[in-house]
Amino acid sequence: FIAWVCTPTVLVLTYIFGQRVLRIESKSLNMVICADMSVCGVSAAIATAAACRAKKEELSLAVGLSLTFTVVMMVVMPPVIVALDLGPVLGGAWIGGTIDSTGAVAAAGAALGETALTVAAGVKMIQNILIGVVAFAVATYWVTRVERSPAGERPSLAEIWRRFPKFILGFIAASLAFSLLAGSGDYGEAIASAATATSKSMRGWFFCLAFVSIGLETNFRELSRFFVGGKPLALYLVGQTLNLVLTLTMAWLMFTKVFPHAAASLAQ
C-alpha cells in the first residue's frame, strides 16, 4: 500500500500541478521530473523519458534534481526520524517510499539499524516494480492524448511498443530469475549472492557511462530556458513535500492501525 498507492497518487497530482498551476512549457519535462521524484530516481527518469520522447536536456535536468535531493534527504532524514521518535519500522518505510535512489535508501536505512534497513529496502524494491507500469502508462497516455492526431486517427499498439523502454523487460526477467534462484536452496542462494556482488561493480560503471553520455549530449543553453522562474525546482519541491507527507501518513496507517502485528513482527 505504501508504495503502490502513494507513488501513482503523487505522480498524477504533481503532474497536474505542473501543468495547471506552474504551467510548465514542456509536458515531457514535467512528466520526467514527476516520475523521477515519485518512483525511483534515475531509472524511472530514463524509462519515462523514452516513453514520452523527452529531450536529452530534459532528462539531464530531472536526473540532476534527483541526485541533488537524494544526497540531502539521505543525510537529513535519519536524524529527523530519530528526533520525531518514529521508530525503525515507520522510519524505514518513510525512507523507502521517499528517497529516490535505492542505494541511498539502503544507506539511510542502515543509519537507523538493521530493522529500518530491511523495511526501507523492501518498500523501495516494491516501488521499483512500478517502473514498468509507469513507463507503459506514460507511453499509452502520450500516444493517445498528448500527441493525438488532429484527424482523430487511432494510435497503434506498435507505436506504444516502440516507446516502451525494453530494458524494463530485462529488469523483470532478472528479478524473477534471481528470486527463484535464491529460493532454491543454499547452492542457488550462493550463486545469486556471487552474481549480485559481481554486478554491483559493473552497475556502477554502467551508470557512470550513462551519465557521461547524457552530459556529452546535453545542450545547456537549450536547458537554461526551463529554469526561468524556477519552475522545475518548484515542481520537485512541491511533489517531494506531498510525497513525504502522504508516505508518512500511509505508513502510519498501515503499521499502527491496519497491520500493527506486522510492525511488531518486523521490530523483533
Asked whether residue 133 carries a pLDDT value surpassing 80, the answer given is yes
In a domain, 196, yes or no: no
pLDDT band at 185 (very low <50, low <70, confident <90, very high): confident
Let me know if residue 213 belongs to a domain: no
**Residue 202 located in a structural domain:** no
Taking alpha carbons only, the member of 91, 97, 92 closest to residue 37 is: 97
More confident residue, 34 or 60: 34
Q: What is the pLDDT of residue 147?
A: 79
pLDDT in tens, 96-130: 999 988 888 988 999 999 999 999 999 998 888 88
216 Cβ contact partners less than 8 Å away, ≥ 6 residues apart: none
Q: Mention every residue, 6+ apart, whose C-beta is less than 8 A from residue 62.
A: 29, 32, 33, 36, 45, 49, 232
Q: What is the model's pTM?
A: 0.82
In a domain, 199, yes or no: no
- Arithmetic mean of pLDDT, 232-246: 95
Q: How far is CA 116 from CA 84, 95, 105, 206, 266, in A?
A: 15, 9, 10, 29, 9
Is residue 95 predicted with pLDDT exceeding 80? yes
Q: Is the pLDDT of residue 46 over 80?
A: yes
Residue partners of 76: CB distance under 8 A and separation at least 6: none
Instruction: Give the residue-averaged pLDDT of 17-35.
Output: 94
157 is a domain residue = yes
Averaged over 55-75, what is the pLDDT?
87
In a domain, residue 9? The reply is yes
Determine, yes or no, domain membership for 179: no
Most confident of the ranges 42-46, 124-128, 141-145, 242-246: 242-246
Instruction: Count how many domains the chain has.
Output: 1
Cβ atoms of 212 and 63 within 8 Å: the answer is no
Classify residue 208: in a domain, yes or no.
no
Lowest mean pLDDT: which of 137-151, 198-212, 216-230, 246-260? Answer: 216-230
Residue 204, judged by CB atoms within 10 A of its CB (0-12, 13-18, 19+), counts as exposed
| Domain extent at residue 82 | 2-165+223-267
pLDDT at 262: 79
